[in-house]
Structure 1
Amino acid sequence: MRSGASLSHVSQYNENAVIHALRALGPTSQTDIAAHTGLSVPAVSSIVRNLRQEGYLTELRTESVGRGRPRVIVDIVASANYAIGLHIDPAIMSAALLDLRGQVVAANTSVSIDPNDPSGSLDEAATLIEGLVAGSGIDRERLLGACAAVPGPLDDATGSLIDTVWLPSWTGVNIGGALTHRLGTPVPVIKDTHAAVTGEVWVRGGDALDSTMVFVYLGIGTGIGLAMRGEAIRGAWGNAGEIGRMLVALGDDDKHGMDNDPFHLVQEAHERGILPATAPSRWELHQQEAQLRELCRIATDGDAGAAAILRAAGERLAEMVVMVVEVFDADTVVYGGPNWEHLQPFYEAPAVAALARPSARGPHPVQVLPTVMGTAVGAIGAACFVLDERFAPRLGRR
């Protein structure tokens, strides 16, 4: 449903459009902001004055431009607002406190997550967040709120997981309500892939604010985050980017369709005698992560069998990425997630090669980039969701 906008919403939209312009352009003048937003220079001048009074913008310097009045260069005040992001991963919980620019002010993790005890784990999550805020020394009045990112699939209406393979005992648990009760502030819940692409656009800024982006998330599972013209796509029920069936279809058979998950990569390495000792079970997540890193190390050191497993997974994933790029006519592909730094040598080149092939999109190139968020893409992205909801220029929010 398309909603109308009151005058107050229009005013908020224009203020956000100015902030959005500064995120795209960097420190700049009111004249450049006017050209970027389509607003008049007097309108921008009034908005900038209001935003300075509210503490969101600051004057950096003046620049002489000949005989005319010197241009005043303005920029965003990073400390004007903060946001908290929480990522509930089956193996670890991470939290990040971000400033308005999307830069990490403080971060922490906890391995005290119990797949069979959601209540106790959510107590630990609330403690993790409270400790992060208290230790940072920020002004709590400047804290906009918090958001939690979780592995899908997600019931968007209740903020609970739906029959997830990774946290089966959490199915139906109202994560958002539980954290809201514990923290005393509303905590929306989104998919970790949605968080990742939201964070990538916010932190990267610049041209990313207008890009159509595919974010390839590599963690315990493999997922996709999507953004059109810089706006993350959540989907009708909050589950955009589910690609499990695509990976099955691209596999050799039903058994090996999901070889891109660490569990299956490690299992195959054990079947081929590449990894020693005992293969971890599906629920031994920390062992899976450790053995995936060992597999990558062995492959990097020259083991042909290990490299073949990882290259095959990278090529299969690249074919899936090409399909998504074609469907959305994307111009940017970003790889990231907790396992990206280990898998990059084997996944990046196949993606670049696959996207360079002749395509229905014609001569338009597609960038393949590593994330700018490091490994904590879920927590950083969740915090960026809070910032995006408040500061992205959109009308007609319900």
Structure 2
Amino acid sequence: MQRGTFQLMKTVNRSLILNKIRLAAPISRADIAKETGLTPPTVSTIVKELIEQGLVVESTLGSSSGGRKPKMLRIRTEGLFVIGVDAGPETVDCILTTLTGEVIGTISRNLQVYTNREFLKQLSQAVDYLLESYSVKREHILGIGIAMHGVVDAEAGIGQVAPILKLHNIPIKQEMESAFGVPVKVENDARAMALGEAWFGKYDTYETIVAVNIGSGIGAGIIIQGRLLHGAAGLAGEFGHMSIDLNGEICACGNRGCLQTFASGPAIAKRAGMISGEAVYQAAVRGEETARNILQETGRTLGIGLINLIHLLNPDRIILGGGVMQSAAYLLPSLKEEIKARALTDKAAKTEIHISELEERATALGAVALLLEELFAPV
């Protein structure tokens, strides 16, 4: 066996054991071996390494069937943390969690930038403020996940195009790793949201899931058999830039008639002549017919976009999140009617549509999941 093959197997086995402990803790070494199919010596060796690395700890003693009581294992939750950042376009929202994803705390700061340097500075300041707010030292952070709007080169950790902020080629990973001295993972915000739903939303990650983030812009994250789809050039999921009107308004991306010029928060506000999508929602709640009609029309437009997704990907379920979905009561009926009317088959018409239960935390939790996936998910 070649050395590289052995090392890969060891990495796969390590992730397999870590994930089993994460999901089934407290669990004994013997039960890990039984449930993973790995040999007891392999489990013991890897568990020993994980304990030495401070990722796993022995907790209470388990029950015995006659011999010595087994020592039970769990993921260490004391003194090791992960940070998730939902970076823009209007605020920087940070979340602090343990290695099991338990939320310790959150902060939010307004974002107003005109250059890459300003953006990166405010990003660093937000993370520092989170650490200060919860009295956590930098050396206790295992890593930082950052969800960024626009086109992201996830491998290089670069924000290639952030159209709403009008920024290009932002070296997020490089600068944040230099500032904090920990691994940094960067991903498009909608893809991060999809990962957050898969990890924390209690869905089967081996289904085809599309998570659509509808806020200041519109994006989608696509998970196929547990893996995020990035596409050949990192553009997979740019749902908001699907052209639905060749003669429509010019979008922030420069094209005409993109979906987000009709259904994003700012687009809804503009049609209603109000300051924000939130204001339109509040007007609808008060019973203003114009606001309700605009939201119903927005639902129909989203339904047209979603039926295109259904016909293209045929997902098991679609999860809708972002600030605009606060208006779900007014959007969903017309949205579902449009899907039903336009679907090619009865089964496609019945594609499950869910509202995110993670709500405003979905994207930041997805940023956390970028690190947890690196740690726990099998290669």
Q: TM-score range, shorter-chain basis? A: 0.7 to 0.9
Q: How does 1:148-163 map to 2 (within 5 A)?
A: 148-156=146-154, 159-163=157-161
Shift of 1:303: 2.4
Report the CA distance between 1:212 and its aligned residue: 2.0
The answer for the alignment partner of 1:131 in structure 2 is 129
The alpha carbon displacement at 1:225 in A equals 0.7
Aligned to 1:393: 378
What TM-score results when the alignment is normalised by the length of structure 1?
A: 0.77
What residue number does 1:117 align with?
115
Question: Does the Cα contact within 8 Å between 1:48 and 1:57 map onto a contact in 2?
Answer: no
Name the SS of the counterpart of 1:393 in structure 2: coil
Aligned residue number for residue 271 of structure 2: 268
Shift of 1:34: 5.6
Query: Is contact 1:318–1:347 with CA below 8 Å preserved after alignment?
Result: no
Query: 1:373 Cα shift?
Result: 3.0
One-letter code aligned to 2:327: L
Instruction: Report the AA paired with residue 254 of structure 1.
Output: G
Q: Using a 3 Å threshold, how does the CA distance of structure 1 residues 324 and 38 change in structure 2: closer, same or farther?
A: farther
Aligned to 1:167: 165
For structure 2, the residue ranges without an aligned partner over 5 or more in a row are 250-256
* CA 135–55 in structure 1, closer or farther in 2 if over 3 Å, else same: same
Contact residue 159 and residue 190 of structure 1 kept, 8 A: yes
What are the ranges of 5 or more consecutive residues in structure 1 without an aligned counterpart? Answer: 276-286
1:321 aligns with 2:306: yes
Deviation, structure 1 residue 41:
6.6
> 1:310-363 CA deviation, whole Å, 9 max, x = no partner?
1221232233223324433322322212443x2222334455556678765959
Deviations 1:122-145 (Å, cap 9, x if unpaired)? 222212212322443346444222
> Is 1:210 aligned with 2:206?
yes
> Counterpart of 1:283?
none
The alignment partner of 2:94 has SS state of: strand
Instruction: State which of 284, 300, 304 in structure 1 corresponds to 2:289.
Output: 304
Q: Which protein has greater RCO, CA pairs closer than 8 Å, 6+ apart?
A: 1
Pair 1:8-2:7 in alignment: yes
1:234 equivalent in alignment to 2:219: no
Change (3 A) 1:131 1:165: closer
Q: CA deviation at 1:259?
A: 0.8
Partners in 2 of 1:145 and 1:178 — Cα distance?
Answer: 14
Distance change (3 Å), C-alpha of 1:131 and 1:72: same
1:236 Cα shift?
Answer: 2.8
Aligned to 2:177: 180
In the alignment, is the contact (CA less than 8 A) between 2:160 and 2:170 conserved in 1? no
* Secondary structure of 1:209's aligned partner: coil
What does residue range 1-398 of structure 1 map to in structure 2 within 5 Å? 5-22=4-21, 37-39=36-38, 44=43, 47=46, 51=50, 54-56=54-56, 58-59=58-59, 62=62, 75-79=74-78, 81-114=80-113, 116-138=114-136, 140-156=138-154, 159-168=157-166, 170-204=167-201, 206-246=202-242, 248-249=243-244, 251=245, 254-255=248-249, 257=259, 258-270=261-273, 275=274, 287=275, 291-340=276-325, 342-350=326-334, 362=347, 366-394=351-379
Deviates more, 1:86-95 or 1:40-49: 40-49
Mapped partners of 2:79, 2:225: distance in 1: 26
C-alpha displacement of 1:190 = 1.9
How many residues align? The count is: 366
Query: For 2:210 and 2:135, how far apart are their aligned partners in 1?
Result: 36
Stretch deviating more after TM superposition (46-55 or 122-131): 46-55
- Do the aligned partners of residues 71 and 187 (structure 1) sit closer, same or farther apart at CA in structure 2, a change above 3 Å counting? closer
Q: CA RMSD in A?
A: 3.6
Q: Does the residue aligned with 1:109 lie in a helix, a strand or coil?
A: strand
State the Cα distance separating 1:217 from its structure 2 match.
0.3
- Identify the range of structure 1 (216-225 vs 310-319) with the bigger mean alpha-carbon deviation: 310-319
Percent pairwise identity? 23
Report the Cα distance in structure 2 between the residues aligned to 1:367 and 1:89, rounded to whole angstroms.
29
SS of residue in 1 equivalent to 2:262? coil
Partner of 2:254: none
Instruction: Assess, with a 3 A threshold, how the Cα gap between structure 1 residues 319 and 133 changes in structure 2: closer, same or farther.
Output: same
Relative to structure 1, the CA distance from residue 294 to residue 199 in structure 2 (aligned partners, 3 Å threshold; closer, same or farther) is: same
Supply the AA of the counterpart residue of 2:248: D
Equivalent pair of 1:326/1:361 in contact (CA under 8 Å): no
Output the TM-score relative to the length of structure 2. Answer: 0.80
Whether the 8 Å CA contact 2:301–2:335 is kept in 1: the answer is no
Following TM superposition, by how much is the alpha carbon of 1:240 offset from its aligned partner in structure 2, in angstroms? 1.8
Report how far residue 152 of structure 1 moved: 1.0
- 1:306 maps to a residue whose letter is A
AA partner of residue 319 (structure 1): I
Q: Residues 7 and 80 of structure 1: is their aligned pair in 2 closer, same or farther, counting only changes over 3 Å?
A: farther
Q: AA paired with 1:151?
A: H
